[in-house]
């Protein structure tokens, strides 16, 4: 059975101390072995510290770190950018084209495609977020071979937890909608791996992960409180 991927997206939350306290509790939790991989995506400023801290703990399944964005550029005179080469060997995954970035930072499909190329060049698996209205446009830059190397994330913007920002309305998608969307993506691109994101929590995660079509989940709000995230993992 393919491992289900559980991604924690902390978004722009947590001080250095809060990040450390979260990892302390997470590392001390007694997890049984499960067919999962957990990817923790802290704000990039905490990436290396979280990585080092996790390295000293042991888990019965892979726990890696990822980033929430990467530069479309390889490096150079791009003030403020974090490039794939800077996090190579540490970040296993990168979330790209999140609806919050498309909306608040005006990211275009072209920029997302360039960042995907950068990530792949540095052996970082891109998780590319799409929605039902715009997925054709959002994925138009990719050929079939690239699509097969990336993880897609289906996240209806209205499904994002409302307490985080003005995009979300906390309307979790139902499994029929998610499976239907995965069907559309598979029809267009063949065998794709698709994660679901949008108000996933310990109370509703089970059916998503039990679906043979869903490769995993991206968890925002429910990953920020460590006990809730531990509870969520326990549902698998
Ligand atoms: P949410 O966010 O779980 O808080 O809805 C998920 C995401 O947008 O990554």
Check whether 103 has a pLDDT greater than 70: yes
Reported as type and span, the H/E element at residue 154 is: strand 151-154
For CA atoms 43, 49, 51, 53, give the dihedral sign.
negative
- Closest-CA residue, ligand 1 atom 7, reads 220
pLDDT of residue 215: 97
pLDDT greater than 80 at residue 200: yes
pLDDT, tens digit, for every residue of 109-145? 999 999 999 999 999 999 999 999 999 999 999 998 9
pTM of the model: 0.96
Distances (CA, A) of 49 to 26, 94, 171, 184: 14, 17, 34, 40
Ligand 1 neighbours, Cβ below 6 Å, are 9, 155, 160-161, 164, 168, 197-200, 218-222
Helix (H) or strand (E) holding 4: strand 4-9
Indicate the top mutation candidate among 94, 220, 222, 232 to test ligand 1's pocket, ranked by most ligand atoms within 8 A of CB: 220
The protein residue whose alpha carbon is closest to atom 1 in ligand 1 is 220
Cβ(99)–Cβ(133) under 8 Å?
no
**What average pLDDT is seen over the chain?**
95
Whether 168 shows a pLDDT value over 70: the answer reads no
Residues 7-46: pLDDT tens digits?
999 999 999 999 999 999 999 999 999 999 999 999 999 9
What is residue 24's predicted lDDT score, i.e. its pLDDT?
Answer: 98
* Contact assessment for residue 45 and residue 73, using Cβ atoms and an 8 Å cutoff: no
**Which numbered atom of ligand 1 lies nearest the CA of 218?**
9
At 204, list the tokens. Answer: 């509703």
* 3-class SS of residue 57: coil
Question: Measuring CA to CA, which residue among 205, 199, 197, 209 is closest to residue 232?
Answer: 205
Residue located nearest, by CA, to atom 9 of ligand 1: 220
Between the CA of 218 and the centroid of ligand 1 the distance, in Å, is 7
Strand partners, 216: 5, 195
With 0-12 / 13-18 / 19 or more C-beta atoms within 10 angstroms meaning exposed / middle / buried, residue 93 is: buried
Residues 207/176, Cβ–Cβ less than 8 Å: no
């Amino acid at each position: 059975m393919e491992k289900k991927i559980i991604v924690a997206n902390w978004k722009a939350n947590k001080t250095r101390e809060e990040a450390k306290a979260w990892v302390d509790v997470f590392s001390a939790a007694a997890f049984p072995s499960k067919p999962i991989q957990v990817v923790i995506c802290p704000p990039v400023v905490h990436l290396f510290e979280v990585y080092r801290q996790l390295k000293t703990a042991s888990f019965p399944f892979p726990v890696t770190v990822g980033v929430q964005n990467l530069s479309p550029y390889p490096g150079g005179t791009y003030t403020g950018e974090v490039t794939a080469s800077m996090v190579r060997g540490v970040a296993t995954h990168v979330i790209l084209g999140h609806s919050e970035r498309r909306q608040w930072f005006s990211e275009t499909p072209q920029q997302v495609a360039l960042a995907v190329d950068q990530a792949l060049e540095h052996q970082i698996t891109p998780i590319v977020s799409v929605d039902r209205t715009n997925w054709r446009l959002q994925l138009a830059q990719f050929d079939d071979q690239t699509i097969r190397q990336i993880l897609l994330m289906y996240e209806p913007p209205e499904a994002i937890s409302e307490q985080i920002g003005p995009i979300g309305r906390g309307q979790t998608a139902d499994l029929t909608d998610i499976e239907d969307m995965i069907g559309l993506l598979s029809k267009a691109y063949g065998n794709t791996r698709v994660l679901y994101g949008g108000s996933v929590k310990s109370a509703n995660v089970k059916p998503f992960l039990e679906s043979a079509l869903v490769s995993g989940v991206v968890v925002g709000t429910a990953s920020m409180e460590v006990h809730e995230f531990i509870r969520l993992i326990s549902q698998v």
